């Protein structure tokens, strides 16, 4: 009896101190759990010092994340990282102390108004690529509640294609092990206009939450230019070099900000100066380039897998105009996240910071890709349309430097009319991309730069884009040419539609273009293409269908493009064919 009374007294003391079973922080008011900051709920030790690996046990078997490997990736205690447009703070905990919570219905104090909840997570339930998850509840400031589902991929077997960061080793009681440890940022949509007061985590103890935030809405900005990271190829190496990239705006506005991304990288990259200017000709600016700032500083270090967004800059950016984005890399860069197919000449300097120079004299080298830079946003405007696609969207077959990709022509059409909003158009085509298969695995130095699958890049390249309103999907031919059957493509397209609609986006899909005459476009491939197109036209899972096939096919030989639209290889339209695609779009559908 004495021991039972002592146990009751101990339990009461723990509750009074805000501590529950096993020291987990809780608070109770009028019989209900009171939301607490996430760090007060931490009940698991995931990170250990390499010298003391036994001080942490992330997965129940004694394995843990290496503090030194995290630091080498730029993930240091208390550092705020931007991933998929969300700001998340890596726990301030020192190695060997609690740094994450095992999701078990805890109520987390989270406040904000935005379009999504962002979770920094990993699973330890050993469920392979499927992940560990469950449903939770969001409580809004108006008293309403919404239910969400969260799934965390496994920290050792989850897909590298969607990870935020991968570490080269992990710690075990017996010492370090050379194995990829993964951390993920997963977002779930929020109802528009309803502020978050707190978040109830799922009941799934194998799901570990390191950080949680509300991703702020990007209202007040319009995406004007963007490109996907298609891989991380070897470059240079570049040491103390300035890159001057040429990009072409769609929408214009009175302010500008730029987005850089260190996607797929294992280590930070440093930009110590960056500028933007309207282009005159070649690498020359019309007038002095204007310096950018990052949190008030002239430069920024971007951790592995993270992004950096420059501070808003009061600079009038014209629509339908070439900009020069210059940035200096002070260290040595041997591989860089890159969009391979620019169809545009950009420039590389000799040694030194030449970001502020008007003249082209220092820029003696050229580039045919866009490293690190992923977006240009302008102030105001109605929002953006994202074109998610493969090489036809990316611009293969179009004239270099002429901005004749079909999204460019669509953007020009929007600017010339007044019946619908003049949306920005963001080109997220990746040459060689597939709907359901990763051509680049999402980790390591790229030998193939055709990107992770459309399904795996959907969160980053569509949902996290600035003020996106509509997505236009043109994908599937590469899956078919690679041997996939129609059901694999249509299942993937249906998933894209469902996930995009859950985010409140309008979803348009385009039929797959004819390809007969291309070396691997056999009659069997064309049969599968026709099956895909028939499904697209009749499935009813999209807000609208754009019949790009009908816009360019030869009526007398429907498996081929009309010769006047063919870019020469029978797979990619040329300038006239790309214009025909854009001209076939009923702008009211956007």
pLDDT digits (tens, 9 = 90+) for 102-118: 999 999 999 999 999 99
Asked if pLDDT for residue 274 goes beyond 70, the answer is yes
- Two tokens at 478? 């590469």
Question: Bridge-partner residues for 313, per DSSP?
Answer: 256
Report, as an integer, the average pLDDT of 319-338.
98
Q: What is the H or E stretch that residue 132 is in?
A: strand 132-140
Domain final residue, candidates 380, 410, 439: 380
Report, as an integer, the average pLDDT of 279-307.
98
Q: What is the H or E stretch that residue 490 is in?
A: helix 486-502
Q: How many alpha carbons fall within 13 Å on the CB side of residue 319?
A: 20
The predicted structure's pLDDT at residue 125 = 87
Q: What's the pLDDT tens digit per position in 407-428?
A: 999 999 999 999 999 999 999 9
Q: What distance in Å separates the CA atoms of residue 483 and residue 575, rounded to the nearest whole number?
A: 28
Report, as an integer, the average pLDDT of 347-351.
97
Decide: 57 and 98 in contact? Cβ < 8 Å. no
Of 181, 187, 24, 177, give the one whose Cα is nearest residue 100: 24
**Alpha helix segments (H runs only) across 53-208:** 67-72
Q: What distance in Å separates the CA atoms of residue 112 and residue 87, rounded to the nearest whole number?
A: 12
Q: Which 3-state string (H, E, C) describes 232-259?
A: CCEEEEEEEEEEEEEEECCCCECCEEEE
Decide: 574 and 567 in contact? Cβ < 8 Å. yes
- End-to-end distance of the chain based on CA atoms, in angstroms? 73
- Could you give the C-alpha distances from 573 to 449, 475, 570, 582, in angstroms and in order? 21, 15, 7, 12
Q: What's the pLDDT tens digit per position in 445-486?
A: 999 999 999 999 999 999 999 999 999 999 999 999 999 999
Spatial strand order in the sheet of 424-429: 424-429, 384-389, 468-474, 506-510, 544-546
389 and 320 co-located in one domain: no
Contacts of 456 (CB under 8 A, 6+ apart): 159, 161, 162, 438, 442
- Where does the pLDDT of residue 20 fall: very low under 50, low under 70, confident under 90, or very high at 90 and above? very low
Decide: 251 and 222 in contact? Cβ < 8 Å. yes
Q: What distance in Å separates the CA atoms of residue 333 and residue 73, rounded to the nearest whole number?
A: 15
Q: What angle do CA 114, 117, 118 make, to 5 degrees?
A: 120
Q: What are phi and psi of 531, to 5 degrees?
A: -65, -40
The predicted structure's pLDDT at residue 495 = 98
Count the domains in the chain: 4
Question: Bridge-partner residues for 135, per DSSP?
Answer: 149
330 and 422 co-located in one domain: no
Of 144, 189, 199, give the one whose Cα is nearest residue 502: 189
Of 585, 589, 579, 161, give the one whose Cα is nearest residue 392: 579
The predicted structure's pLDDT at residue 31 = 47
Decide: 387 and 472 in contact? Cβ < 8 Å. yes
356 and 435 co-located in one domain: no
459 and 589 co-located in one domain: yes
Q: pTM here?
A: 0.93
Q: What is the H or E stretch that residue 500 is in?
A: helix 486-502
Contacts of 3 (CB under 8 A, 6+ apart): none
Only one residue has tokens 């300097």, namely: 349
Q: What distance in Å separates the CA atoms of residue 5 and residue 246, rounded to the nearest whole number?
A: 75
- Classify residue 450 by its DSSP letter: S
Q: What is the H or E stretch that residue 151 is in?
A: strand 145-152
301 and 319 co-located in one domain: yes
484 and 370 co-located in one domain: no
274 and 305 co-located in one domain: yes
84 and 207 co-located in one domain: yes
Asked if pLDDT for residue 128 goes beyond 80, the answer is no
- Could you give the C-alpha distances from 90 to 200, 211, 342, 437, 492, in angstroms and in order? 20, 7, 34, 31, 33
- Two tokens at 471? 């997505």
For residue 574, give its domain range. 382-590
Judged by phi (left if over 0) then psi (alpha if -120 to 50, else beta), residue 143 lies in left
Q: What's the pLDDT tens digit per position in 294-317?
A: 999 999 999 999 999 999 999 999
In 264-419, beta strands by DSSP E: 269-271, 273-281, 284-285, 290-291, 300-302, 307-309, 322-335, 338-339, 346-351, 365-367, 370-371, 373-379, 384-389
Of 101, 22, 108, give the one whose Cα is nearest residue 11: 22
- What value does the mean pLDDT of the chain take? 94
Q: What's the pLDDT tens digit per position in 66-103?
A: 999 999 999 999 999 999 999 999 999 999 999 999 99
Domain final residue, candidates 191, 216, 241: 216
Asked if pLDDT for residue 28 goes beyond 90, the answer is no
In three-state secondary structure terms, 70 is helix
- Could you give the C-alpha distances from 100 to 111, 504, 559, 566, in angstroms and in order? 19, 31, 55, 55
The predicted structure's pLDDT at residue 24 = 39
Decide: 212 and 185 in contact? Cβ < 8 Å. no
- Two tokens at 175? 């010492």
In three-state secondary structure terms, 302 is strand
The predicted structure's pLDDT at residue 126 = 75
Q: What's the pLDDT tens digit per position in 572-590?
A: 999 999 999 999 999 999 9
Decide: 187 and 168 in contact? Cβ < 8 Å. no
- Two tokens at 126? 């050993």
Domain final residue, candidates 362, 380, 398: 380
203 and 326 co-located in one domain: no
- Classify residue 573 by its DSSP letter: B
232 and 317 co-located in one domain: yes
In three-state secondary structure terms, 85 is coil
457 and 471 co-located in one domain: yes
92 and 164 co-located in one domain: yes
């Amino acid at each position: 009896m004495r021991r039972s009374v002592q146990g009751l007294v101990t339990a009461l003391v723990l509750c009074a101190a805000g501590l529950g079973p096993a020291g987990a922080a809780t608070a109770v008011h009028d019989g209900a759990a009171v939301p607490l900051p996430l760090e007060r709920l931490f009940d698991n030790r995931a990170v250990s010092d390499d010298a003391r690996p036994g001080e942490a046990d992330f997965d129940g078997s004694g394995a843990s994340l290496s503090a030194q490997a995290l630091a080498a990736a730029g993930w240091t205690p208390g550092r705020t990282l931007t991933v998929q447009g969300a700001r998340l703070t890596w726990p301030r905990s020192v190695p060997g102390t609690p740094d994450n919570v095992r999701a078990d219905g805890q109520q987390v104090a989270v406040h904000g108004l935005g379009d999504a909840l962002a979770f920094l997570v990993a699973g330890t339930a050993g469920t392979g690529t499927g992940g560990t998850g469950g449903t939770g509840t969001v409580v809004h400031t108006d008293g309403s509640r919404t239910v969400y589902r969260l799934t965390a991929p496994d920290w050792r077997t989850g897909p590298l294609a969607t990870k935020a960061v991968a570490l080269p080793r992990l710690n075990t009681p017996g010492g370090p092990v050379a194995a990829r440890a993964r951390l993920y940022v997963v977002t779930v949509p929020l109802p528009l206009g309803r502020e978050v007061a707190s978040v109830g985590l799922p009941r799934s103890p194998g799901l570990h939450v390191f950080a949680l935030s509300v991703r702020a809405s990007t209202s007040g900005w319009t995406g004007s230019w963007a490109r996907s990271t298609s891989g991380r190829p070897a470059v240079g190496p570049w040491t103390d070099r300035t890159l001057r990239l040429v990009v072409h705006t769609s929408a214009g506005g009175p302010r500008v900000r730029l987005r850089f991304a260190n996607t797929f990288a294992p280590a930070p990259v440093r930009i110590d100066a960056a500028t933007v200017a309207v282009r005159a000709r070649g690498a020359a600016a019309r007038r002095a380039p204007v310096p950018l700032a990052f949190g008030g500083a002239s430069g920024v270090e971007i951790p592995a897998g993270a992004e950096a967004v420059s501070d808003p800059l009061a600079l009038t950016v014209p629509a339908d105009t070439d900009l020069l984005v210059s940035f200096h890399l002070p260290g040595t860069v041997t591989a860089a996240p890159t969009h391979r197919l620019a169809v545009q000449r950009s420039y590389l300097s000799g040694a030194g910071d030449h970001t502020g120079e008007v003249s082209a004299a220092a820029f003696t080298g050229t580039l045919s890709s866009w490293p690190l830079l992923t977006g240009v946003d302008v102030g105001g405007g109605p929002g953006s349309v994202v074109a998610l696609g493969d090489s036809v969207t990316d611009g293969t077959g179009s004239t270099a430097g002429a901005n004749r990709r079909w999204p460019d022509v669509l953007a020009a059409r929007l600017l010339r009319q007044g019946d619908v909003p003049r949306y920005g158009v963001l080109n997220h085509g990746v040459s060689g991309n597939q709907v359901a298969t990763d051509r680049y695995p999402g980790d390591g130095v790229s030998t193939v730069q055709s990107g992770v699958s459309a399904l795996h890049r959907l969160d980053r390249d569509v949902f996290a884009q600035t003020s996106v309103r509509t997505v236009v999907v043109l994908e599937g031919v590469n899956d078919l040419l690679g041997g996939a059957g129609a059901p694999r493509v249509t299942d993937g397209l249906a998933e894209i539609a469902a996930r995009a609609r859950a985010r409140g986006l309008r979803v348009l899909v385009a039929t797959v273009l004819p390809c007969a005459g291309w070396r691997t476009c056999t009659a069997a491939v064309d049969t599968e293409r026709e099956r895909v197109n028939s499904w697209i036209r009749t499935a009813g899972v999209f807000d609208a269908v754009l019949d790009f096939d009908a816009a360019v096919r030869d009526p007398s030989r429907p498996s081929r493009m009309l010769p006047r639209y063919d870019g020469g290889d029978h797979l990619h339209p040329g300038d006239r064919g790309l214009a025909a695609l854009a001209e076939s779009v009923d702008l009211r559908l956007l």
